[in-house]
Amino acid sequence: MTRLQAGELVADFNLPSISGSMFNMSETRGKKVILTYFRFSSCPFCNLRISQLISRWDEFSNDIIMVGIFDAKIDDLKKRMKHHNAPFSILADENYELFTKHSVQKSFVRFMIGTLSAPLTLLKATMRGYFPMTLSISKLSTIPVDILIDENGKVVKAHYCKNTADHLSIDELVSFSNS
């Protein structure tokens, strides 16, 4: 598959949510969506990012739909995410199918660059108790993706991150939600 491009329609998908329901992408039509492909459920960078999003949630439009997708089994994801109490959807792609469909990349080199280029972020995550509970090179090497989707289900921006510590800024996400 190829990377998502601006103007492209995001195809419907259904994935299990940690809330116990099924998330259906087609039900988001008419609202803006911020979709992020995270790594694995105990990823320190991912958990810190979710914590940061939650801490700024009051800045986002009330109409925004935010979705985080993890390469994880739903039961493990529920266990790891319960302490966040996130006000947005957190989903499990248990078979890595949607990750593959949207060309989420894996790169051990880019994983190492992210880890080495953001030591303070890693320290901050570790001090909050976010420890990687996997030694799977496959899961460790997943590189995140942030996708901004308009009310018609079309990609406004697809940011395929440079490394594991890279994301669109939260300021940009807030701005998109309120535009």
Per residue in 42-80, pLDDT (tens digit) is 888 898 999 999 999 999 999 999 999 999 999 999 998
DSSP 34: E
User: Are the beta carbons of 39 and 144 closer than 8 angstroms?
Assistant: yes
Long-range CB contacts (< 8 A, 24+ apart) of 72-77?
Answer: 72/40, 72/41, 74/16, 74/18, 76/41, 77/18, 77/41
pLDDT value of position 78: 96
Contact between 22 and 14 under an 8 Å Cβ cutoff? The reply is: yes
- CATH code linked to domain 14-178: 3.40.30.10
User: What pLDDT, on a 0 to 100 scale, did the predictor assign at position 62?
Assistant: 96
**Can you tell me whether residue 71 is helix, strand or coil?**
coil
What count of other Cβ atoms lies within 10 Å of the Cβ of residue 140? Answer: 18
Nearest CA to 104 out of 2, 174, 17 is that of 2
Residues in the chain with pLDDT values less than 50: none
Note the pLDDT of residue 80.
Answer: 87
Question: Which DSSP string corresponds to 36-56?
Answer: EE---TT-HHHHHHHHHHHHT
To the nearest whole percent, how much of the chain has pLDDT over 90? 69
